[in-house]
Structure 1
């Protein structure tokens, strides 16, 4: 009895330490995600607070980018909470959540490509910018982006239905809801890799061509160099953001590489990758434009710290 007692105490201590660590990491990840969601929500509200933001193509595209990023963050945070709280849901609701997450996943790279073209036209063809990027044409471009991604999700749904007719899949999940639990067949991995490579290659080429075009025009004497320099910085930030979003597509590969190292280590890697790869790239737009853009910054800061609400309350008093 005296020999077994220390081993029992050590095991219990390790389990308690593991539970404490998981609780602390869960709170930190959830708190960080909620903070980023708040920042994105404030900027979304800011972009609907003034008519200039609703009528300018640049800000309309930014709103679409933020809306897709925020929706993607919400579904990912919900999936994370289900896993952290060890809540097992049925196969069908899990499919809906995973498909919603995938539906908003590729909106950002495509929108970044359109935003890069808009900046190129604004600097290289300033006289034609207002005619090319009207409110209507910008809305059409956004509709095409969403329609393209809807086709991607529709193809996945048909593939999933086909797999369900060929392979028996238990509709009662025994582990937490995730993309890996739903799209476990190799055909999904190949299709998603092909689609992601195509989208990110097209978006990368578009941004780089826009950057080179603006860089060439910026050297001419007739160009507003301050405007061209800002456009170059914006395009470079778009490329960095696109690279981070591309890195997030390797989330499954990274988790699979650590699948054999132990569940506790796997959970640690999953938490770090969740914040760094799934959440951080989706809040960069709010951080970049909320601070960098001279028109957005004062309004964004006012709403971020609730100054607008407090001033309204003081006026009522």
Structure 2
């Protein structure tokens, strides 16, 4: 009898500690996500507020990363909250959300590659840059990015619908992308598609870096500063791409821990969320929002105007 009471107290203590740990983690994540979304919304407003940015391919690609990353952050944060608190949802909206989130996940690194190609054209082919960066070519480029981004998610969706047991679509479950990879061949085929995409992106990144590096060595003193800055931009994009690529592997890592220990699984998932979802997407504002002089000046102006307006509203309410 005494042993059962002791075991009950220990179980209650473990549950209390687990709940406290989850609360701390969720609070930290919501603060990080809130800051990220605030900065992104401010940058999106800055982009939309200036016509010169809306006509430049580099800034249009940057704006796409802001839109996609913000949407992805909201979806993944929502899924993580539901999983941490064991909230089950209907399978049909679950697979729709997971498919969209996966498209967004792949779209970001592909957009980064497109931004590196844009820098390559601007530095290595400056006379042809205006002819290449037309609105027509931009439309084809965006269609290509979204089309390639949809290959793996749509394959996963069709394969899941092909093998799903009757009635499973009308059940409720903890929503995650792993639910759509019940068969081993599904996970292997998806991994092969992603591997081909990763190799394709890495080849382009290395190609653009080498070409810009050659142009930097041959550039005159007047153009050397701009060329070196583009070289550092490509390096930052390469690091950002590396973090995004590792994100493709995290579901397989998390699935291994799922069978070992529930608490370890949630710790691994939390760490992956912070390091491989939040961190790489915080680099985009740093690369273009703070390093770009034109964009930074307008961003600073909008931020100060927003704070001034907020302080005026607050002081009026205080009176």
- Calculate the TM-score normalised by the size of structure 1: 0.90
Residue-by-residue CA offset, 1:161-206 (whole Å, 9 max, x unaligned): 2213xx4463355641001122222232122211211111111111
What is the aligned-residue RMSD (CA, Å)?
2.3
Residue-by-residue CA offset, 1:237-278 (whole Å, 9 max, x unaligned): 111011000111111122123224321121111111121122
Runs in 1 of length 4+ with deviation above 4 angstroms? 1-4, 172-175, 311-315
| Corresponding residue of 2:147 | 147
1:2: Cα distance to partner?
4.5
| Corresponding residue of 1:187 | 185
User: Do the aligned partners of residues 192 and 306 (structure 1) sit closer, same or farther apart at CA in structure 2, a change above 3 Å counting?
Assistant: farther
Mapping 1:92-171, distance limit 5 Å: 92-164=92-164, 167-168=165-166, 170-171=168-169
Q: Are the counterparts in 2 of residues 89 and 176 from structure 1 also a CA contact under 8 Å? A: yes
Q: Are the counterparts in 2 of residues 33 and 275 from structure 1 also a CA contact under 8 Å? A: no
Mapping 1:80-91, distance limit 5 Å: 80-91=80-91
Partners of 1:118 and 1:133 lie apart in 2 by 8
Does 1:202 find its partner at 2:197? Answer: no
Partners of 2:262 and 2:119 lie apart in 1 by 47
Partners of 1:12 and 1:195 lie apart in 2 by 46
Q: Are the counterparts in 2 of residues 88 and 176 from structure 1 also a CA contact under 8 Å? A: yes
User: Counterpart of 2:273 in 1: which secondary structure?
Assistant: helix
User: Do the aligned partners of residues 15 and 85 (structure 1) sit closer, same or farther apart at CA in structure 2, a change above 3 Å counting?
Assistant: closer
- Worse overlay, 9-18 or 45-54: 9-18
User: Counterpart of 1:86 in 2: which secondary structure?
Assistant: coil
| Corresponding residue of 1:293 | 292
| Corresponding residue of 2:56 | 56
Structure 1 unaligned spans of 5+: none
User: Counterpart of 1:127 in 2: which secondary structure?
Assistant: coil
| Corresponding residue of 1:255 | 254
User: Counterpart of 1:177 in 2: which secondary structure?
Assistant: coil
Residue-by-residue CA offset, 1:126-161 (whole Å, 9 max, x unaligned): 121111112332232112211232344433332222
Q: Are the counterparts in 1 of residues 91 and 172 from structure 2 also a CA contact under 8 Å? A: no
| Corresponding residue of 2:271 | 272
Partners of 1:2 and 1:298 lie apart in 2 by 69
Q: Are the counterparts in 1 of residues 254 and 265 from structure 2 also a CA contact under 8 Å? A: yes
Partners of 1:3 and 1:201 lie apart in 2 by 58
- Residue-pair matches, total: 313
Q: Are the counterparts in 1 of residues 219 and 227 from structure 2 also a CA contact under 8 Å? A: no
- Calculate the TM-score normalised by the size of structure 2: 0.90
Partners of 1:4 and 1:199 lie apart in 2 by 55
Partners of 2:291 and 2:58 lie apart in 1 by 14
